[in-house]
Amino acid sequence: MTLSIAVEPFDAAAAKTITDNLVAFNRAKADRPEPQKFLVLLRDDVRNVRGGINAALHYDVLYIDDLFIEESFRGQNHGTELLRLAEQEGRKRGARLVWLDTYSWQARPFYEKQGYEVFGELPYQNGTHRRYFMKKAL
């Protein structure tokens, strides 16, 4: 058998093969459980989603994947409440720590007000922008 290595355009099936094999390896080595995914949603009175959080518990660590609120609903403490409920749900599911990431043009001060601290950062565009990795004990 001859193997080759090359840069190729993105292919969803090939990417899935890589991910599936890595997940299987991790499960075999570290008894990695399936992530417990959940949503915390901000809805209007006709049930349209106006914001929310995508979250997942990995082992005993909660990951806040995305937090978004439509512009017209910002500044009304909805973000604080969404985050509080996500953290509460994480605790119920056994989380002892929560982490997330945010960019320099996004919400670092908001997360710091909620008790998060930066544990790492990456510069983008020669330092014009930064990506902050933040955590909080639950």
Q: What pLDDT score was predicted for residue 32?
A: 77
Q: Residue 92 domain-assigned?
A: yes
Q: What pLDDT score was predicted for residue 30?
A: 87
Q: Residue 103 domain-assigned?
A: yes
Q: Residue 30 domain-assigned?
A: no
CATH code assigned at 118: 3.40.630.30
Q: Residue 27 domain-assigned?
A: no
For residues 24-28, average pLDDT:
89
Q: Residue 5 domain-assigned?
A: no
Q: How far is CA 35 from the centre of its chain?
A: 12
pLDDT beyond 80 at 1: yes
State the pTM of this model: 0.86
For the chain, the domain total comes to 1
Residues of the domain holding 132:
35-137
Write the CA distances from 21 to 6, 15, 16, 17, 34, integer angstroms.
19, 10, 8, 6, 14
CA-CA distance, 118 to 102, in Å (whole number)?
A: 10
Q: Residue 49 domain-assigned?
A: yes
Mean pLDDT of the residues in the chain: 96
Q: Residue 104 domain-assigned?
A: yes
Buried b (16+ CB within 10 A) or exposed e, 31-50: eeeeebebebebeeeeeeee
Q: Residue 97 domain-assigned?
A: yes
**Residues near 69 by Cβ (< 8 Å), separated by ≥ 6?**
42, 50, 51, 52, 78, 79, 82
